Amino acid sequence: MDQQKIGSFLKALRYEKGLTQAELAEQLNTTNRSVSRWETGNTMPDICVLIELAEFYQVDIKEILNGERQSEKMNEDVKATAEKVAEYSKKTNKKKITKVVTLMLIPIIALTALLVIVFSSRSMQILPDSYPAYQQVTLDSKITDKLINDYVTDHMPESSENNHNFSNIKVFSVEEKQSGDYYVYTWIYEAEYSYNDGVLKEGSASSYPCRFELLKENDSFRIVNADVPRDGSYNIEDRKKLFPGYVIKMIETVQEDGTVKTLSDETLADAKAYFNVK
């Protein structure tokens, strides 16, 4: 399975629709960061989103997985089942498809689940734990901000000589789970900038909430988990699992309170400084 080929095919399908990554993300109730990662071949959509993409682009799942259009269509029974699941996924926020539907979809689910495991190995993973809010504490932002920003840029698509990755974060809150083990609740803005022929240009950019788990070892910290809500119908459900209620309220106002704009401006300033643009 050619991951880069699949990403290029998804990008071509989006171009056929005349959509930007942000516009497609809005259609699918996801983030343009996720769309960018699919199209660069960095990750694969989960099964529900994959089915939604096939329906939205009016192609078969088999064509997406092969990374090209094919003259032969899916078996009619499989196609009918996929359409039923696509309709089901729009009407529910449940994490798992019911046993009855699962039995009908064993061939599709088995194949797609394997792909998700293989292609998502570099992506941030979701932990399904639920918890009450822990005690709020304060950590040295000079240490934690650099640690988290380095982690974010390291997980973005690779930069080149004329392209570079940047990120900035807003820390909503820090809670101590137990001695030396912390949850840091953040909003992240990440962007790729290029500088060619005297022109600074922003490439793909996205912003999203993330819960980092930091472990203190002697006088330093290391990130042991970075958990991001999944896309589509799972997003609201995952937010409730990853963030306490007071943080969710802050997450819901990042556009209105200027958080996203501030982080975007800071990221642009970082890019100008990096490329020595006045």
Three-state DSSP class for residue 28: coil
DSSP 2: -
Beta-bridged to residue 175, according to DSSP, are: 136, 183
DSSP 274: H
- The Cα–Cα gap between 28 and 78 comes to 23
Could you tell me the pLDDT band of residue 76, with boundaries at 50, 70 and 90? low
pLDDT at site 98: 40
Compute φ and ψ for 195, nearest 5 degrees.
-135, 110
> Helices 47-57 and 106-119 sit at what angle, rounded to 10 degrees?
110
Q: How far is CA 255 from CA 36, 170, 207, 233, in A?
A: 21, 13, 10, 21
Q: What is the pLDDT of residues 161-205, one digit of tens each?
A: 788 999 999 999 999 988 889 999 999 999 999 998 889 999 888
Q: Whole-prediction pTM value?
A: 0.57
Q: What is the pLDDT of residues 229-257, one digit of tens each?
A: 988 888 899 999 999 999 999 999 999 99
- The Cα–Cα gap between 242 and 77 comes to 38
Residues 6+ away with beta carbon under 8 Å from 1:
65, 115, 118
Compute φ and ψ for 225, nearest 5 degrees.
-150, 145
Amino acid sitting at position 189: Y
Domains, the chain, in order of start with CATH, read 3-119 (1.10.260.40), 135-274 (3.10.450)
pLDDT at site 112: 52
Residue 196 CB neighbours (<10 A) = 10
Beta-bridged to residue 181, according to DSSP, are: 178, 215
R_g (Cα) of the chain, nearest Å: 20
